[in-house]
Amino acid sequence: DAKTTQPTSMDCAEGRAANLPCNHSTISGNEYVYWYRQIHSQGPQYIIHGLKNNETNEMASLIITEDRKSSTLILPHATLRDTAVYYCIVRPRSGSARQLTFGSGTQLTVLP
Amino acid sequence: NAGVTQTPKFQVLKTGQSMTLQCAQDMNHEYMSWYRQDPGMGLRLIHYSVGAGITDQGEVPNGYNVSRSTTEDFPLRLLSAAPSQTSVYFCASRPGGQQNEKLFFGSGTQLSVL
């Protein structure tokens, strides 16, 4: 699986957009980008995923660069409850390597 | 639906003891998996199952056994607990098939081995 690189930590003001970057420069054509988050002491929660087009759902937007070597998760109006560790994961569409591999993620702290 | 239910929430063991962490899901998901998370670390895959009767090893399987006799249940057995197995354990499930990508996680079991 392609490896991902994320900043260790980020801060964001409440009500502002939180933009979390992820580098996946070795991503291959059949690999998806997934985002999960983990609020303290809870199980991870799925946020969004995409292949090459930008995606949006009720939680967030995912912007993938045209060369697919990096992506950005956008939380449009961050709240205190969005404070969590955010994981960017690259995973092939099929095969035994489809199991998700979680790295260390980005600790996002939303400040009042 | 209750989703993914893990029991117990907390457990303390002595070195050498055995125990089973329970995981059950009521969403009729084919795929289930176990992860462990050490302090300040990401999750590591222990074992997974793509359906009843089928299991496979993940990244860190040593010291753990699993079985999948029903679709609903996926217990994780520690055969002889060691302090290195002190961790938080998460169970997860999702529907089968290539297009079903969203994992649902349980709330975790905090295990301490003394």
For A9, the 3-state DSSP assignment is strand
Query: What are φ and ψ of residue A97, in 5° steps?
Result: -75, 10
- CB nearest to A94's CB, from B35, B41, B98: B98
Is the confidence at residue A1, as pLDDT, over 70?
no
Backbone dihedral region of B51: left (phi > 0), alpha (psi from -120 to 50 degrees) or beta? left
CA atoms of B88 and B100, how far apart (whole Å): 26
Give me the pLDDT at residue A83, please: 97
Q: Measure B76 CA to nearest chain A CA, in Å.
A: 17
Cis peptide before B8 (omega within 30 of 0): yes
B residues 27-66 closer than 8 Å to A (CB) = 33, 35, 40-45, 48, 56, 58-59
- The DSSP secondary-structure symbol of A83 reads -
Contact B108 A43 (CB under 8 A): yes
Q: How many CB atoms lie within 10 A of CB A69?
A: 13
Residue B46 · residue B36 · CB < 8 Å: yes
pLDDT tens digits along B42-83: 889 999 999 999 999 998 999 999 999 999 999 999 999 999
Rounded mean pLDDT, A67-91: 95
Mean pLDDT of A91-95: 68
Residues from chain A contacting residue B35 (CB–CB below 8 Å)? 102
* DSSP E strand boundaries for A55-105: 55-56, 61-64, 70-75, 84-92
Predicted confidence at residue A31, as pLDDT, reads 86
CB A79 within 8 A of CB A68: no
Residue showing tokens 């499930």: B93
> Residues A69-92: what's their mean pLDDT?
94
Cβ burial of A4 (10 Å; 0-12, 13-18, 19+) is: buried
Q: Are A38 and A84 in contact (CB under 8 A)?
A: yes
Q: How far apart are CA A10 and CA A53, in angstroms?
A: 25
Beta-bridge mates of residue A13: A111
Alpha-carbon torsion, ordered A18, A51, A64, A24, to 10 deg: 90
Nearest CA in chain A to B90: A43
Say if the Cβ atoms of B107 and A43 lie within 8 Å: yes
Contacts of B90 in chain A (CB under 8 A): 43-44
Please say if the pLDDT value at position A2 is more than 90: no
Put simply, the answer to whether A102 touches B35 (Cβ < 8 Å) is yes
